[in-house]
């Protein structure tokens, strides 16, 4: 079930069955010459949508803009400052909590969001901690590539040139959903991009001129993306199910 395509009455009925919701969360930022700007928002959304087809998970709208300031020297990147993102996440959580959701599972697609999402969780919990009041909501952050078994699957499929940004695994996931966007332009130069520190946007573009970090995403295919999506969807159903039932 997807929140966006449900009526309020259907949501109310769903809440009588489960107080859990999965929120895909990501970013719009450059993903090298072969990857889509929406990759980090699309990956968790694609996985969650696939899980929704074969389970009773409730999937919320995608929080699709993240903390991507270091990619702003590339056209198409849209970023929230950490402080803006923290405030937005808290408003999303409080909206859902008001309706009775008690377990909110953020399925994340962007490593650069992690620190900010965790800070948002701390700010949310602080209202209860300082007031000595029981908090009615538990929050979970899970990067999709850290779902049980998925990190190993990705590096088994792409043992060379996986890298850390514009990786073949994330690019493959998007190709599975948008096969018309699969790269057919041949090898990149250099074949495997450099690694290095992340600082401001200008520094990033200087270090990583085509946007990739440590990766060779030309190995991504629609078929390999499908393998990652189906395994990730199954892992999400188990992982979110455990959390919604009170574990973790």
- Positions in the binding site for Ni ion (CB under 5 A): 39-40, 170
CB of 64 to Ni ion, least distance (A): 13
Strand, coil or helix: 21: strand
Residue ranges in 54-147 assigned as alpha helix (H): 82-98, 114-129
Question: Residue with the closest Cβ to Ni ion?
Answer: 40
Residue 137 or 166: the one with the smaller Cβ distance to Ni ion is 166
Smallest separation (angstroms) from Ni ion to the CB of 44: 10
The least CB distance from residue 170 to Ni ion, in Å, is 5
How many Å apart are CA 12 and CA 101, to the nearest integer? Answer: 11
CB of 58 or CB of 213, closer to Ni ion: 213
Minimum distance between the CB of residue 196 and Ni ion, rounded to whole angstroms? 16
Q: Is 145 in contact with 236 (CB distance < 8 Å)?
A: no
Name the residue nearer to Ni ion (CB basis): 170 or 216.
170
Nearer to Ni ion, 19 or 28 (CB): 28
Write the DSSP string, 215-244.
Answer: --GGG--HHHHHHHHHHHHHHHHHHHHHHH
CA nearest 41: which of 106, 115, 124, 116? Answer: 106
Number of H helices, E strands in the chain: 8, 3
């Amino acid at each position: 079930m997807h929140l966006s395509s449900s009526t309020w009455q259907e949501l109310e009925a769903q809440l009588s069955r489960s107080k859990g919701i999965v929120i895909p969360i990501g970013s719009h930022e450059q993903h090298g010459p072969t990857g889509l700007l929406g990759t980090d928002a699309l990956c968790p959304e694609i996985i969650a949508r696939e899980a929704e087809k074969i389970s009773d998970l409730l999937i919320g709208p995608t929080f699709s803009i993240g903390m991507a300031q270091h990619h702003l020297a590339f056209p198409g990147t849209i970023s929230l400052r950490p402080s803006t993102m923290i405030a937005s996440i808290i408003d999303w959580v409080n909206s859902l909590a008001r309706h009775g959701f008690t377990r909110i599972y953020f399925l994340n697609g962007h490593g650069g969001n992690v620190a900010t999402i965790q800070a948002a969780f701390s700010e949310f919990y602080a209202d209860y901690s300082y007031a000595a009041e029981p908090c009615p909501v538990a929050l979970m952050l899970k990067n999709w590539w850290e779902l049980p078994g998925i990190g190993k699957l990705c590096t088994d499929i792409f043992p060379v040139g996986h890298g850390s940004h514009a990786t073949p695994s994330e690019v493959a996931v998007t190709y599975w959903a948008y096969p018309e966007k699969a790269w057919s332009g041949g090898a990149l130069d250099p074949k495997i991009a450099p690694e290095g520190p992340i600082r401001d946007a200008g520094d990033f573009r200087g270090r990583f001129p085509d946007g990739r970090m440590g990766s060779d995403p030309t190995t991504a295919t629609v078929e390999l993306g499908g393998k990652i999506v189906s395994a990730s969807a199954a892992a999400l159903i188990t992982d979110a199910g455990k959390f919604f039932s009170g574990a973790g």
